Amino acid sequence: MDNPKRIEEGLANAPHLDENQKNGLEQKERGVVVHVDNEQAITKEEEPVLIVKQKSKRVATLDAFRGLTIVMMILVDDAGGAYARIDHSPWNGCTLADFVMPFFLFIVGVAIALALKRIPKMQTAIKKIIIRTLKLLFWGIILQGGYSHAPSDLAYGVDMKVIRWCGILQRIAVVYMIVALIEVATTKQRPNLLKPGHLSIFTSYKWQWLGGFIAFAVYMITTYSLYVPDWTFSVEEDHVMKQHTVKCGMRGHLGPACNAVGYVDRQLWGINHLYSDPVWQRLKACTFSSPSSGPFRKDAPSWCRASFEPEGFLSTISAILSGTIGIHYGHVLIHLKGHAERLKQWISMGLFLIIIAIILHFTDAIPINKQLYSFSYVCFTGGAAGIIFSAFYILIDVWGWRIPFIWLEWIGMNAMLVFVGGAQGILEGFFNGWYYKSTDNTLDHVFNDVWHSVRLGTLLYVIFAQITFWAVIAGILHKLRIYWKL
């Protein structure tokens, strides 16, 4: 990587160079400066100043951050059962697993800003956005709708009466579509140059922030004003279907049983189409094994056995804010040319969001809650994403420490493949289909038996048979220039 002190950007109106001038310029090593995410390189001599266009390079931080998010997802999904402290918080609070979804949406927002930096034809751009959205929805329903039972069960198929319509990719699809369409629709309002001032980057993209504010307003008004009546559900207990009634009759409740987020999903999708294993089952009110999973208490409230959709409709509206924060970081990357200017914007906003979240949470005004995708949760995870993104930018793109993070870049460049094969357990399910005498004799059980510990065996299995394996596969595919893109 080039010496960061020599990196510059943003020079335009370059004089035309013929081939002889370019060839002669390429032979001069002194004074050549190339920026990692711009399309121009400049050569500084005493006279004249010559500017040469070179091929655009990928933003290494973007791939590394995306790769980190995928790795976090594999870790918490596969090891969360053995280490409850990194699994999703049963209700209020934030654990390692709770950062995964907003980190995905944050990096989607950053990528949208870079991908839609230039829009030659608006209709073509809109068509691509719609097609990509439909692809994400399709894969989301296949992977998380109940059709795939991998890796635990060697079976496929889903009863349409209980298919789950929502999920991770579905939420990413909706947020991507809305944020990208706003970006395309406001193309003519984009500034070529920012006005002086720290806040000019915000005012220059006011329509994107207006979209985020509308999503925030819809979520907050609905959450605190919608009346939630009593509701019923049926669940099988001891091979017998039993009906339960949950008493509500209130507004603005943020607990598990009577919140507006769950009510909207029950009305919109039907309770049979919601996630049947919600994290609230690990609350102390539901099990003595809290925060781990365990049998229900005899005096557990009836709602402990009910379904709840963590990627539901109303919470997805709130999630649009995570994408809006991400696209802001992308706009900063595009318009501000110096490392110090970018980091000043990114870090200050990240710290501001975290402070807002902490105040809201510890004053009990709006608790940090992933299941509800509360505003404080948006701020806390968005701020954390911004700080970590800034740290990656310093380490990788400013200081040039790319080698230690190259494996994250490889995973990030093939994120969809690793998500499907690794995070969703498709390849693991394929390997589990090859067993000796019993389905218990699979690779993950071998790790547990060798180490005589479920916790340690699970952790080592995830690190070596999952994360390390997919890093090697992604690296090989990168060398072969093979990428799965939607």
**Per-position pLDDT tens, the chain of length 486:** 444 333 333 333 344 444 444 444 344 333 333 333 433 333 334 444 444 344 456 679 999 999 999 999 999 988 888 888 889 999 999 999 999 999 999 999 999 999 998 888 889 999 999 999 999 999 999 888 877 777 667 677 787 888 999 999 999 999 999 999 999 999 888 777 777 778 888 888 999 999 999 999 999 999 999 999 999 999 887 778 899 999 999 999 999 999 999 999 999 999 999 999 999 999 999 999 998 889 999 999 999 999 999 999 999 999 999 999 999 999 999 998 889 999 999 999 999 999 999 999 999 999 999 999 999 999 999 999 999 999 999 999 999 999 999 999 999 999 999 988 877 777 777 666 666 666 666 666 666 667 777 788 888 888 888 899 999 999 999 999 999 887
Residue (of 168, 172, 59) closest to 106 by Cα position = 172
Distances (CA, A) of 414 to 66, 419, 479: 10, 9, 12
Q: State pTM to two decimals.
A: 0.85
Return all residues near 183 (Cβ < 8 A) that are at least 6 apart. 112, 113, 116, 208, 327
Helices (H) and strands (E) in the chain, counts: 17, 7
Q: Are 33 and 4 in contact (CB under 8 A)?
A: no
What is residue 33's predicted lDDT score, i.e. its pLDDT?
Answer: 36
Return the exposure string of 306-317: e unless at least 16 CB atoms fall within 10 Å of the residue's CB, then b: bbbbbbbbbbbb
What is residue 144's predicted lDDT score, i.e. its pLDDT?
Answer: 85
Q: Are 74 and 423 in contact (CB under 8 A)?
A: yes
CB atoms within 10 A of CB 483: 13
Cα separation, 140 vs 166, whole angstroms:
8
Write out the H or E segment, with its range, that includes residue 232: strand 231-237
Report the sign of the C-alpha dihedral through residues 206, 114, 382, 219, in that order: positive
Cα separation, 346 vs 337, whole angstroms:
13
Tokens for 290?
């809290």
Q: Are 246 and 280 in contact (CB under 8 A)?
A: no
What is residue 440's predicted lDDT score, i.e. its pLDDT?
Answer: 65
Peptide bond between residue 291 and the one before it cis (omega within 30 degrees of 0) = yes
Return all residues near 258 (Cβ < 8 A) that are at least 6 apart. 228, 246, 248, 250
Q: Are 461 and 78 in contact (CB under 8 A)?
A: yes
Return all residues near 411 (Cβ < 8 A) that are at least 6 apart. 66, 67, 70, 71, 418, 470, 471, 474
Cα separation, 431 vs 354, whole angstroms:
42
Total residue count of the chain as it appears in this document: 486
DSSP states along 126-181: HHHHHHHHHHHHHHHHHHHSSSB-TTTSS-B---TTS-----HHHHHHHHHHHHHH
What is residue 146's predicted lDDT score, i.e. its pLDDT?
Answer: 78
The SS3 assignment for 291 reads coil
Q: Are 282 and 295 in contact (CB under 8 A)?
A: no
What is residue 262's predicted lDDT score, i.e. its pLDDT?
Answer: 96
